Amino acid sequence: MDKKQGRTKMKVVNGKRSRVDFPRKDHREEYAAEVAPPSDVSVNRAEDAGREGTAGRTAGYVGLGIGILSLFMWSVILGPIAAVVGYYAYNKGSRTTGAWSIGLGILATISYFILIPFAR
């Protein structure tokens, strides 16, 4: 044993080298799943199959109801709310009710600003 090896107390490996973790040269470590690349496996559950798009559909109907209400009362308040809820529904996949909600909300808000001078 040479002086340099005696002071560091490191194990000298002669021969074919393979990868081992740094602090423990005499044992092999298994790497965690976080290091592995992500898999492309998707899980389809039977209970979730019928629920796809329910958030968009519900938001679409709520926006449509608020849009119809905004034509008759509180146009300045309910009109923009109907447009925002309709936009959310449109992005979630309920295109028809979302578009109607946006249209009714914008119509109610614009009609308020056009008709308010005639009310005074």
Say whether pLDDT at 13 is over 70.
no
The pTM for the full model equals 0.55
CB atoms within 10 A of CB 86: 28
Q: For all residues of the chain together, what is the average pLDDT?
A: 76
- CA distances in angstroms from 81 to 74, 87, 90, listed in the order given: 11, 10, 14
Question: What does the DSSP assignment read for 83-114?
Answer: HHHHHHHHHHT-HHHHHHHHHHHHHHHHHHHH
Long-range contacts of 9-15 (CB under 8 A, 24+ apart): none
Say whether pLDDT at 36 is over 70.
no
Question: 23 pLDDT band (50/70/90 cuts)?
Answer: low
- Amino acid in the structure at residue 35: V
